[in-house]
Structure 1
C-alpha cells in the first residue's frame, strides 16, 4: 500500500527560501543488518547516530580515485559512467581502458546512477542526495540534498528525461515529473506499518513498476507510481533489486543467493535455486536477453532461460561486485571494491 506523507520542493539553493518539506517524521538512526554485506553497508551507511553533514564539500580528487569503491555504473550512449564513495564519478569513452573524473559539488557516497539518454542522467547517494548531469557525466549539479533526513537513496530510475524515481532508506520514495526541478516524496509503509528500506526499483515490460525492499517486502504500482500495493512474497529476507526477462518474467534477487520469479506480474512467486549463498547486488540484461547477477565474493550468476535456472561462476580475486557491464569487445567490467576490474564471462 502507498501512503503519502509529505511533499518536498527544491526551487533554489538551500538557505535561500527554496526548500519546503512538510509532513515527514523526524529522522531516526538507520536499522542495522548483517555486517557480512560489505557493499550494502557502504551503500546504507549503517552507523547509528551518524551526524549529518553541515555543508556541501566537493567530491574527493587525486590519484586514488581510480581505486575508489564504486557502487554502480551505467551507459550514457557510448560512454560508461560509474559512481561511488566520496562523491566520485568516473567516465570512460574507450570501454573502460581509461577513465576521467567528473566534476561533482558533493562528497557524499553515491550509490546509483541512471541515464535517460546519452547526456541527461541522475545519481543518488547518502544524505538524501540527488544529482543531475546534462553532459553525459562530466559536470553535475545538486537537485536534492537533505542531510537532516539521515537516509541514503539507494536506486534511481528514469523512464524519460522528465519522469523518474529515487528510492532509499525507511521507505522513502522520491518522484519527479519535471526532470528533477521538483521532487515529491512518498513514504511507503508495509501492511504492519513498517517503513522498510527500499533497495531497488524497475519497470516491467507490462508497464508496472516494482520495488524491492527488506524483510521480503515487494511492491507494485500499476498507475505509473502514484499508488503502490504490497505483494505476497515467498521469501522473508531482503530483496536488493528487480529485473525482467524479455518475455516479461519478473525476477527479484535477494540476499544469500535467493531469487524469486513471477510469470503473472507479481501476483504469485516461486523461488528458483541458484546454487550459491552469496547475496546478489545487481542485475544486467544483455543484448541477447541473458541476465547476469553480480554477487558478493566475486560470484556471478547467469541465466540463459529467463530465470528458470542459473549457472554460478566465481572470480579468483573474490572481490565484492556491485555492478557488471558488458563492453563492446565482449569483455565485462566489474565495479566494486578497489574500483573497476576487467573480467571474462562466457555470456552474450
Structure 2
C-alpha cells in the first residue's frame, strides 16, 4: 500500500504576524518533519460487485467506477490497481495470480498478464444500446465466458484479448453461466425415410418423416446460462447452438453453479432455489429458508454457499 509524504502547518497567530513571518521564512531553509499519510484504499461509498481468489494468498475485487483492489496476503491488506476506465466493473475471473479478465458496463472488458500491474481494455462485440455485461466465468477447458443483456453470450479463447459473440438477440438478460458434464447427450431428430408400397400402377415410394435419436459417444462439456423470467439455456457444442430447459419459475434467475459433473443449483429472486441431478437437463424447486433475493452461489469445501439481499 503506497504511503504519501506530507505535512500540515497549523497557525494560531494573527494574520499580520503571519504575513511578516512569511517574508522572514523566505530567507531561511526550515527543516520540517515528515508526516506519513496513509492513502485510504476502501471508502464507504465504494461498491464491490465480484471477487475472485486464484490461490491461497491472492484476492481480487472489482466494482464501482472502475475500481480494482488486490490483496497478496489473504485479505489482510488491499491496494488499488490502476485501471483505464471509470465504468462500473461487474465481474472478474482469473486463471492464476497473473492472468485475469474483468467485464463491466458499456461493453468494456479488461485483461491483465502481470497480476494487475497493467489492465488492457478490449471492447466486447455487443450492440450499440444493450452493452451491460453481468458475469464472467472460466470453463473446464480454459475458455472464458461472459453473459450480457439482450441474449448476448460471449467467449474468449485467448484470455480476453478478443471475444466472440454467440446466442441470439432475445429480449432477456443472461445473468450467470455454469458448467456441467453429462455422461451422454441424446438428441431426437426428424429425418426423411423412404416408404414403399405396391399398388395397381406398380411399385411406388413416398418420403415419410420419422424421429430418430442420436447420442454422443461420451461425456460432453455443457455450458448453461440463467436469466430473466426463469429462463435457462444450455449448449452442448460450446455455444454454437442453445436449447431452452424448462424451469418452474417465471421470476429471474441470478446465479448457477455445479458441484460436480451432474449436480447443480440455480438461485434467483424471491429466494427461489432450483436443483438438478442430470447436468441441467431437468430442474426442480428446493425449499428455501428465505424470501429475499438471492444473487450468487458457489460450492466451497463440500458446502453450498449462497449470498443474497440484506446479508
CA distance in 2, matches of 1:124, 1:233: 28
Listed one character per residue, the Cα deviations across residues 130-150 of structure 1 (whole Å, up to 9, x for unaligned) are 11111122221111367xx55
Contact 2:57 2:74 in 1 (8 A): yes
Which residue of structure 2 aligns with residue 174 of structure 1? 110
Which residue of structure 2 aligns with residue 124 of structure 1? 62
| Alignment TM-score, normalising by the size of structure 1 | 0.62
Listed one character per residue, the Cα deviations across residues 280-326 of structure 1 (whole Å, up to 9, x for unaligned) are 22223215642211211111111211111111224243011122345
Greater relative contact order (Cα < 8 A, sep 6+): 1
Is 2:274 aligned against 1:301? yes
Which structure has the bigger radius of gyration?
2
CA distance in 2, matches of 1:145, 1:172: 12
CA shift, 1:268, in A, is 0.5
Is 2:182 aligned against 1:209? no
Is 2:232 aligned against 1:259? yes
Structure-2 change in CA distance of 1:128 and 1:276 (3 Å): same
CA distance in 2, matches of 1:226, 1:145: 16
Q: Name the SS for the 2:50 alignment partner.
A: strand
Q: Name the SS for the 2:229 alignment partner.
A: helix
Which residue of structure 2 aligns with residue 162 of structure 1? 98
Is 2:168 aligned against 1:233? yes
Listed one character per residue, the Cα deviations across residues 15-60 of structure 1 (whole Å, up to 9, x for unaligned) are xxxxxxxxxxxxxxxxxxxxxxxxxxxxxxxxxxxxxxxxx85547
CA distance in 1, matches of 2:143, 2:303: 32
| Alignment TM-score, normalising by the size of structure 2 | 0.69
Gaps of 5+ in 2: 5-38, 182-219
Structure with higher strand content = 2
| The 10-residue stretch of structure 1 (229-238 or 163-172) with the greater mean CA deviation from structure 2 | 229-238
CA distance in 1, matches of 2:59, 2:259: 21
Contact 1:212 1:242 in 2 (8 A): yes
Gaps of 5+ in 1: 1-11, 15-55, 61-85, 87-106, 340-348
Contact 1:234 1:270 in 2 (8 A): no
Which residue of structure 1 aligns with residue 307 of structure 2? 335
4+ residue runs over 6 A deviation: none
